[in-house]
Amino acid sequence: MKKLFFMLSTLFLLVGCSNGEKAGTEDSFEYTVDKFADIQILRYKVPGFEDLSLQQKELIYYLSEAALEGRDILFDQHNKYNLTIRRTLEGIYENYSGDKNSDDFKHLEIYLKRIWMANGIHHHYSEDKILPGFSKEYFSEAINSVDPAKLPIKDGTSVDGLIETLTPVMFDPTIMPKRINQAAGVDLVETSAVNFYEGVSQKEVEAFYDKMKDPNDNTPISYGLNSKVVKENGVVTEQVYKLGGMYSPAIERIVKWLEKAANVAENDKQKQVILSLIDFYKTGSLKKYDEYSVLWVKDLDSRVDFVNGFTETYTDPLGMKGTWEAIVNFKDMEATKRTELISENAQWFEDNSPVDKQFKKDEVKGVSAKVIDVAMIGGDCYPGTPLGINLPNADWIRRDHGSKSVTIANIADAYNKASLGNGFAEEFMWSEVEIERAKKYGALTSNLHTDLHECLGHGSGKLLPGVDSDALRAYGSPLEETRADLFGLYYLGDPKLVELGLLPDNEAYKAQYYSYLMNGAMTQLTRIQSGKDIEQAHMRNRQSIATWVLEHAKESNAAELKQRDGKTYVVINDYEKIRELFGELLAEIQRIKSTGDFEAAKNYIETYGVKVNQSIHNEVLKRYEALNLSPYSGFVNPVYTLVTNDSGEVTDVTISYDEGYIEQHLRYSKQYSTLPNNN
Ligand code: ZN
């Protein structure tokens, strides 16, 4: 639940329908910005920004500034030395008087880029400390070559003192080795490098919060969300993140921008949301935070929306402290129109499906999925970015007031477009025909398949009277995904979609048919270790459909696995026949579900979804590894500029996409950096 970090399944599905375009460009827009270590840096477009009203653009501008002002907070939360290390390296990077083409300097640049990506010295995903590719001696020499005024040196400390403090933290692998330690049997607070606790043990922290909690409270606050726990004069206490408290200089700036945003809110409801967030920042009261969260979850009509604050608790070994994050976004009208159109026609789809009449719903309601585009990301959403948002986190607010769940279209689109030039399609697709089709229709049909799956697939069909909804037990989940995927696949090939204007022609669906079978039968196996079975429900679903269809296509030769130069490929010879097979399987899967036929469910999943073809698996792993793709991605933000007239009134907000990764971080470190050093 909570924030959906870009799930590998989604990413690989996207990569699976990647296209053959060169170097990730489209209309000369450069999606790929940089590549280093295990990271690629991408750029996202903000479609529709120009068409917003001036007031909405201004609102986005102020919320975006507020989204960038918390960057230092996250660095400091991750580790108390992060800000000082970052500033020292930036000081060297910009002012080094030695050879900037040397290997050592290049390693220093890579190390700094990795620190920006991770918002600190620990890897953003593995949590392990990142070790520099240069020596302690070089570090010391480089620092000494720089004017001390360009280094983060406090009164009473010296360049030597800075070197002495930072060297063990940066170079000694045994000091603060993990950002968050989750190993059993040790003190998680003392062995984690995060800066949420200092001078206290795990036991002391637990006792501190246990004393506060009331087990009968039905609407508890999120204890400890916005504070650091320390010992003062031997007493355990909290330093609260608020105006006048911890992180005050950054929070002051955030509040200033939020106040400007409140003045240009789209409506009163939204204004109240922003004002209540300001109230929380001013007081640090977690009751106020809940008030804000409730108002936020109820604001459904505004086009512009945002997240700004101490939100996710994954990085705290005790799961209480919220890392600071921000997203500014607005509703994607085109994508939302698409899901509304599908959902309006839900009854037609239900009535015309190949499923036996007795298993169909007499009255079916489609759901309309909400799709947004992000305009700015900050804190823990930057540079690594989620593909969706599902907030708030407080269980009682979700229970009593619901939650907002959205998918982020432009981030998914950037992943998709960036994968066009990475060689994946060329490696795994049979011929230019499939590559070209994927290039032309891949993104569109993949999105549409997801929409059909979500808006119609899960909601279609019914159980016969008396059938237990848990009858399929462990096979229920993969079978349900199979059903929803098949519903989408079957209708992608239906002329109705062209008639509704959802697809441009009767050729487009073939792109998704090919990608789906290739992914299910082969390329999704890149996520499984050699020798292992498939466990995950979505992956079982995809393999089961692909292998069932390939097996049943043999007789008519509609599709096959073919060898060329020692490599295996999916080849589809008759797309209409494949659609018939999707329909046939959909009817059978719906029958299994509607009648609660456990044996048939088990037989189907175990036969087609679990076991992996070892030789294909090893072949795919080898071919994938040779492509040398970056496992992790980060993003750069666009730059917004206020345009004013002679009397100082805002007349427009412009957007530009030309800032590079290094430039952006160096600028952010100057423009949005207010917190003190910690050396
Ligand atoms: Zn699903």
Three-state secondary structure readout of 153-192: CCCCCCHHHHHHHHHHHHHCCCCCCECCCCCCCCCHHHHC
CA of 453 to the centre of ligand 1 (A): 6
Measure 481 CA to ligand 1 centroid, in angstroms.
5
How far away, in angstroms, is 198 Cα from ligand 1 center? 43
Instruction: Dump the DSSP string for 551-571.
Output: HHHTTTTSEEEEEETTEEEEE
Question: Minimal CA–CA distance to 187: which of 170, 204, 164?
Answer: 204
484 CA → ligand 1 middle, Å: 6
Distance 619 CA to ligand 1 centre (A): 29
Kindly report the backbone phi and psi dihedral angles of residue 577, in degrees, each rounded to the nearest multiple of 5, phi listed first.
-65, -35
CA of 145 to the centre of ligand 1 (A): 57
Residue 221 lies in a domain: no
Neighbours of ion ligand 1 (CB under 5 A): 481, 484
Q: Beta strands of 510-628 (E only): which ranges?
A: 559-564, 567-572
Cα 107 to averaged position of ligand 1 atoms, centre (Å): 44
Q: Could you tell me the two tokens for 63? A: 């919320």
pLDDT grade for 156, boundaries at 50, 70 and 90: confident
Detail the DSSP E strand segments found in 537-669: 559-564, 567-572, 632-636, 639-644, 650-656
The tokens for 577 are: 């026949």
pLDDT in tens, 214-264: 989 999 999 999 999 999 999 999 999 999 999 999 999 999 999 999 999
Total tally of structural domains belonging to the chain: 1
Ligand 1 centroid–CA 632 distance in Å is 24
Q: What is the pLDDT of residues 173-213, one digit of tens each?
A: 999 999 999 888 899 999 999 999 999 999 999 999 999 99
Average pLDDT over residues 605-609: 97
Report CA(457)–ligand 1 centroid distance (Å). 8
pLDDT tens digits along 463-518: 999 999 889 999 999 999 999 999 999 999 999 999 999 999 999 999 999 999 99
Query: Does residue 664 sit within a domain?
Result: no
| pLDDT for residue 20 | 32
Q: Residue 279 falls within a domain, yes or no?
A: no
Q: Judge whether 299 lies within some domain.
A: no
Task: Determine, yes or no, domain membership for 74.
Answer: no
Q: How far is the CA of 458 from the centre of ligand 1 (A)?
A: 7
pLDDT in tens, 358-367: 999 999 887 7
For residue 9, the CA-to-ligand 1 centroid distance in Å is 12
Render pLDDT for 91-149 as a digit per residue (tens, 0 to 9): 999 999 999 999 999 999 999 999 999 999 999 988 999 999 999 999 999 999 999 99
- Alpha carbon of 514 to ligand 1 centroid (Å): 20
Q: Which domain holds residue 431?
A: 3-47+332-634
> Cα(345) to centroid of ligand 1, in Å?
19
Q: Give me the mean pLDDT over the 615-623 stretch.
A: 97
Distance CA 524, CA 570 (A): 13
* Measured torsion, CA atoms of residues 108, 110, 115, 116, in degrees rounded to the nearest 10: 120
Query: How many whole angstroms from 13 Cα to the centroid of ligand 1?
Result: 13
- CA gap 439, 420 in Å, rounded: 8
Burial class (CB in 10 A: 0-12, 13-18, 19+), 515: buried
Is there a domain that residue 372 lies in? yes
236 close to 208: Cβ distance less than 8 angstroms: yes
The CA 366 to ligand 1 mean position distance, Å, reads 14
At residue 8, the pLDDT reads 35
For residue 25, the model assigns a pLDDT of 42
CA dist., res. 473 & res. 93, Å (int)? 58
Measured in Å, residue 227 CA sits from the centre of ligand 1 at: 37
Q: Which residues contact 429 (CB under 8 A, 6 or more apart)?
A: 435, 438, 514, 518, 569
Flag whether 337 is in a domain: yes
> Could you tell me if residue 571 is inside a domain?
yes
620 Cα: distance to centroid of ligand 1 (angstroms): 26
220 contacts: CB under 8 Å, gap ≥ 6: 213, 214, 396
* 489 Cα to the center of ligand 1, angstroms: 13
Q: Distance, CA 570 to ligand 1 centroid (Å)?
A: 25
